[in-house]
Structure 1
Amino acid sequence: MIPWPRRLRNIIIRALIRAISLLCPPVHTLFSRIRSSPGVPIKDPSTSYWTLCPSPISRHGADGDLPKYADIVVIGSGITGTSFARAILDYDALHGVTGKPLCVLMLEARDVCSGATGRNGGHITPMLYRDYTELKAVHGIDMARKIIRFRLSHFQELLSVATEENLLEESQCREVEALDAFYEPSLYNEAKGKLETYKKDLPEESSRYQIYEGSDEIKNLQLSRLTVGCMSTRGGAVHPYHLVTGILARLLRVYPSNFYLFSHTPCTSISGPESAEGLYSLETPKGTIQTPHVVHATNAWASHLIPGMREKIIPARGVMTAQGPRPGLGEGSKKKRPTAWTGQRSFVFYPSNSFDVYDYLTQQPAADSAVSIYPKSAGELMFGGGFGRDNGFLTEVGNVDDRGWNSRTASYLQGALSDYFKVDDNDSKEEVKATWGGILGISVDQQPWVGRIPATITSRGSVFGGAPTATNLAAPGEWMAAGYTGEGMVHAWQSGKALAYMVLGIDEGGILDWLPEVFRISEERWKEVEIEDLIASFLNL
């Protein structure tokens, strides 16, 4: 039940939107896009720098014949789908869930890992103190702590996974110093207040925070004199494409008879379940496949196959660049005690007086080993953001065309690093090596959606009766992990893993105590959250 003050606020926002839409065609077009299906991912997207050297499995199964049946069909080959497949296949191999190997089939509309995972900034550094005070106000202190700890768990989890998969070097998964840099005194002071609250409520998790202030400290960080102050803590960074495609390649090798991966095979529609066995029919250009379990790992595209998620998970197009660093950047200040940091720092820059306007940067480490199927990295700066500038949301929210990008945002990103960094007396600029677009999925309540999808939301029948089937999995149904609101690297892996446990039917006995309950999909949550909540949040209403 929506509280009356919130309901009244949303009614007012809705009325204002309708009025503005009548007077402003771009606003009318924006909300028309939001209400529409995102369709399947568009062919021939822009080329992400991460994928310039494609994985050997990038087109795996593109020309293969689709089987008629699988125990589980996963739609999407990014980090969520990969986490799910790894967890369920490896668990089944150890425990023999059904008495014979589970048949898991993965569908991908384009090249493998060509969506948001292969297009993001490579950060494994969550928003912590910035979000904590609002999380606490909305969900209470215990749930706020749980959400923060869930986000923080991703770095160590991904580091462990990369190690287990023998991908530590190839994936560049590593610890970095994560710095938040501020350029407006008012926002910096607000941030310090938020950090104090965070440190008080989460002393262990905040123990590594440091504050850098004063011209000497800022200069030694090679930041420009425009920087008001910095906060730093432990973070992580990764080459997301190498990590995901490396894991999928291992699954294909280890499970050749029961794991199938079909790239360039979009799922265009789902019907059913129409039989006593509870089988869904998934249509693709290669034909129909039936399965009792459909796993949606499509994030921004989720509402194409799940119409009920329109205006619940909203696509938005962002921009990323890869830039060669200017000489001396990362080598430390030569006028002070040098601290080399190439590949060992990540940054979030707040150039205005709003937390909603920010840019983000990781740097690839300079490779010193030739043991890889890929070319060596050269310390490229992976720089994105600019989303909240110049009313860019009017053209980018609801936009799923990642063949291109917002040209004004790209122009800004191609020059912004000159304002953020200062390398002694060197006035040279970064060399832009690549620019590309990517689609993120914004959840209207800003929390992921994880779990079984009620039939009310899918508009398809359900055979869920609470009891396991003969296969010893959970009862047949549709499942989803999506809606990461631009923070997929600190939500997606563990969400996909949690979903695997749910499908396995072992979501009991505390095994998923680490999953925040507010992430779980329910009909009540679906009915309660509205797009006006997201608008109110951005407007601080």
Structure 2
Amino acid sequence: MPPVTTSDNPEELARLMTADPGLPRSNPTPAYWQHIPHPLANARSERFHSRRNYAIIGSGVTGLSVAKTVLENHPTATVSVLEARSLCSGATGRNGGQMAANAGEEYMHLAEVFGSEMAGKIANFTLRNLNAMHALVEEFDAVETSEVQRLKKLRVFMTEAKFEDFRRSLARLEADHPTLKGMYTLVDANTLLEVNGSSLSLIVLWRPISTPANIIPIVSFSRVEQTYSIHGACGGALLSAGTVWPYRLVTKVFDTLLKRYPGRFAIETHTPVLAVEVDHISSSTSPAACSYSVHTARGSITVEHVIYCTNGYSGHLLPALRGPIYPFKGTMTVQDAGTSIRNQGNSVAWGFHSPPSFDPVTKRHGYGLYYLGQSAKSGYLYFGGENKRIDDAVSADDSFVATSSVEHLQSSLPRFFAKTEEVSPPWKLVSSWSGIMGFTSDGLPMVGQLPSSLTGRKGGGEWIAAGFNGYGMANCFLCREALALMMLGKPRPDWLPEAYQISEERVAAHFVSKEATPATGSKL
């Protein structure tokens, strides 16, 4: 999501964006996803490995993808995942559980900045990534464990201007890329108000064909009951999407990898990385000829490759990326509406879009997006979105969640279903927490081999994929797969958008500290 919010205090914003995010806090707010810890939550080797081929910093879905790809494609490689806290305790274990693309909403901006060809490639990549996530669930028999659902995402636009912007963006997407026509089904305000009824719903899935860069739609139809009962909206759009219990998925796959690759794979939780230094550089041009000392709180480890899966915390170990990648703190709640609304957790998830706002009295920014999923089993509502001061938004501190942010989410959710007067007291708050996302100054992930100008070190063995701008579930799995393949000496996959490639030139071109602002579309 591009940085488009206007800050009332650009100097303060620049200071926050370029500050050292520090290490992940040791006492994060407890996320509902992790309320039953996995047996591997605090996994670590009995004896810390002092030498490995690959050190992956971070244990979310991105770190998982790198480890999985390297282990599956290199028969002797040794890999250690280094996690500052418990396993999968970062953004992946704290997000909203939504698997949805934002191609239609973002296409106009992407086409204007990067050109229509690249914008289409980005849209196709996110769709491919979501399919890869579903394939991961099926490959590791995690359908029941992760409570994954294939459903429709209903994007709801709360003003006519937002709905019109979306329609214009969608029209250009379909004109530029006819193969993507039919991704979205527009819904008018009257339909959103319907309490009962049914319609024939278009479901579009995607699969690769002859080359990895191409995808084609598989079209099917399904009769679905419409009980939206959304009030105050000007229109909406349906697209194929999913929901998942992300912590359960990632921990199950990590568990399988440990059993599948004993001796070659290790997970070291509560092992924060304190510094990275070049240990040795050979005269050879091969990155493998370099070695690095990764210093942790439990000792040092010598490796050939260091992979930063650190997202919003990337600037701590890589000071040159403070600002180009910055932390953005999201707020999530789990609310129990009881019988106030029916359970649609196996058929629909929601996103509510409105213009950004700023209250000069409270100094709180409204960031224009709320996201909602529902558990098909319990009926609990997973609801997130931001209305907060800038110093609480551009922050790497997830050790607390502001009471005002939680109260705002509690009061906002019922209004979408016209339940304001009926909800006294508010719907039961089951859980609330915060989580740190990584945003970039140009709105796209940063992926690839880190140049020496950005690490401050010689050698070619440092890599990164970070800054998913609130849409990690639609980007990170394949970004890390592409990164792992490049580390193994394979060419960059042609399905990875070139605009994601990190470089000194890209960082310099897009980061203007006093003008850059936090994105409005954050989706933890």
Length-normalised TM-score, structure 1: 0.82
Aligned partner (choices 153, 157, 161) of residue 186 of structure 1: 161
- Per the alignment, residue 329 of structure 1 pairs with 341
Q: How far did residue 214 of structure 1 move?
A: 4.3
- 1:275 is displaced (CA, Å) by 4.6
Distance in 2, Cα, partners of 1:423 & 1:119: 27
1:153 aligns with 2:128: yes
- Cross-structure match for 1:372: none
Amino acid at match of 2:404: R
Paired residues for 1:240-251 under 5 Å: 240-251=246-257
Alpha carbons of structure 1 residues 217 and 105: separation in structure 2 relative to 1, 3 Å: closer
Distance in 2 between residues matched to 1:537 and 1:309, nearest whole Å: 15
Decide whether the 8 Å contact of 1:484 with 1:491 is kept in 2.
yes
Partner residue in 2 for 1:440: 437
Query: Is the Cα–Cα contact under 8 Å of residues 54 and 80 in structure 2 kept in the other structure?
Result: yes
2:328 matches 1:346: no
Q: SS in structure 2 opposite 1:365?
A: coil
> What amino acid maps onto 2:194 in structure 1?
K
Counterpart position of 2:199: none
Question: Residues 446 and 534 of structure 1 are in contact (CA less than 8 Å); yes or no, is this contact kept in structure 2?
Answer: no
1:507 aligned counterpart, secondary structure: coil
Residue 398 of structure 2 corresponds to residue 402 of structure 1: yes
Give the alignment partner of residue 35 of structure 2, picking from 30, 52, 55.
Answer: 52
Q: Which amino acid aligns with 1:419?
A: R
What pairs with 1:195-234 in structure 2 (closer than 5 Å)? 195-215=170-190, 217-220=192-195, 221-234=227-240
Correspondence list, 1:421-440, <5 A: 421-422=417-418, 430-440=427-437
Cα distance in 1, alignment partners of residues 441 and 515 from structure 2? 5
Partner in structure 2 of residue 521 of structure 1: 502
1:319 corresponds to: 331
Instruction: Measure how far apart 1:227 and its partner are.
Output: 2.0
The amino acid across from 2:370 in the alignment is D
Query: What's the CA shift string for 1:21-75, capped at 9, x where partnerless?
Result: 6xxxxx65543332222111110110000000011100000x7321110001100
Distance of 1:270 and 1:204 partners within structure 2:
45
Aligned letter for 2:414? S
Equivalent of 1:500 in 479, 484, 498: 484
Match of 2:303 in 1: 291
Q: Deviation string for 1:211-269 (max 9, x for gaps)? A: 22243542233333312222111112111111111110000111111001000001100
- Give the Å deviation of 1:519: 0.6
Aligned equivalent of 1:458, options 455, 460, 483:
455
Give the Cα separation in 2 of the matches to 1:534 and 1:314. Answer: 14
Q: Distance in 2 between matches of 1:202 and 1:414?
A: 40
2:29 partner amino acid: S
Match status 1:270 vs 2:276:
yes
For the 8 Å contact 1:320–1:382, the answer to whether it is kept is: yes
Letter in 2 for 1:172: E
Q: Secondary structure at the match of 1:400?
A: coil
State the shift of 1:424 in Å: 13
Q: Is the 8 A contact 2:192 2:230 kept in 1?
A: no
Partner of 2:317: 305
Contact 1:317–1:405 under 8 Å retained in 2: no
Letter in 1 for 2:373: T
Deviates more, 1:239-248 or 1:343-352: 343-352
Q: Helix, strand or coil for the counterpart of 1:272?
A: strand
Q: Does 1:382 align with 2:382?
A: yes
Given that residues 328 and 396 in structure 2 are in contact (C-alpha distance below 8 angstroms), is that contact kept between their aligned partners in structure 1? yes
Unmatched tracts of structure 1, length 5 or more: 1-12, 22-26, 332-340, 367-377, 465-476
Q: Distance in 2 between matches of 1:74 and 1:145?
A: 31
Cα drift, residue 198 of structure 1? 2.1
**Mapped partners of 1:534, 1:66: distance in 2:** 45
Query: Is 2:53 the partner of 1:64?
Result: no
Question: Structure 1 residues 190 and 165, CA, compared in 2 at 3 Å: closer, same or farther?
Answer: same
Q: Is 1:273–1:460's contact at 8 Å kept on the other side of the alignment?
A: no
1:537 Cα offset (Å): 8.9
Structure 1 distance, partners of 2:65, 2:71, is 10
Structure 1 CA distance, aligned partners of 2:184 and 2:480? 29
Counterpart for residue 132 of structure 1: 107
> Partner residue of 2:259?
253
CA distance in 2, matches of 1:496, 1:490: 12
Please report the RMSD computed on the Cα atoms of aligned residues, expressed in angstroms. 2.5
Distance 1:288 1:538, change over 3 A: closer
Task: Report what 1:486 is aligned to.
Answer: 470
Whole-angstrom CA distance in 2 between matches of 1:51 and 1:422: 31
Unaligned runs of 5+ in 2: 196-226, 283-288, 358-365
Contact 1:445 1:534 in 2 (8 A): no
Percent identical = 30
Other structure's SS at 2:141 match: coil
Larger Rg: 1
Query: CA contact under 8 A between 2:367 and 2:385: conserved in structure 1?
Result: no
Deviation at 1:324, TM superposition (A): 1.6
How far is 1:356 from its partner?
4.9
Q: TM-score by structure 2 length? A: 0.84
Higher relative contact order (CA 8 A, sep 6+): 2
Following superposition, the deviation at residue 112 of structure 1 comes to 0.3
Q: Which residue in the other structure is 1:365 paired with? A: 376
For residues 352-403 of structure 1, give each alpha carbon's deviation from its aligned partner in whole angstroms, at most 9, with x where no partner exists. Answer: 478951100111221xxxxxxxxxxx122111012xx35x223321x11101
Return the letter of the residue paired with 2:67: A
Q: Counterpart of 1:486 in structure 2: which amino acid?
A: G
Quick one: distance in 2 between partners of 1:150 and 1:533? Answer: 31
| CA distance in 2: counterparts of 1:34 and 1:319, whole angstroms | 19
What SS does the aligned partner of 1:359 have? strand
User: Does the 8 Å contact 1:150/1:515 carry over to 2?
Assistant: yes
Distance verdict in 2 for CA 1:425–1:526, change over 3 Å: closer
**Alpha-carbon shift at residue 327 of structure 1 (Å):** 0.5
Could you say if the C-alpha distance between residues 208 and 147 of structure 1 is closer, same or farther in structure 2, counting changes exceeding 3 Å? Answer: closer
If each structure's strand is expressed as a fraction of its own residues, which one has the higher value? 2
Contact 1:359 1:384 in 2 (8 A): yes
Between the two proteins, the alignment pairs up a number of residues equal to 470
Hey, what's the Cα distance between the residues in 1 that align with 2:486 and 2:422? 55
Instruction: Check the 8 A contact 1:109/1:267 in 2, yes or no.
Output: yes
1:222–1:423 CA contact under 8 A, matched in 2: no
Counterpart among 99, 103, 111 of residue 78 in structure 2:
103
1:31 aligns with 2:37: no
Q: Secondary structure at the match of 2:290?
A: coil
1:329 is displaced (CA, Å) by 1.9
The secondary structure found in structure 2 opposite 1:435 is strand
State the distance in 2 between where 1:216 and 1:248 align: 43
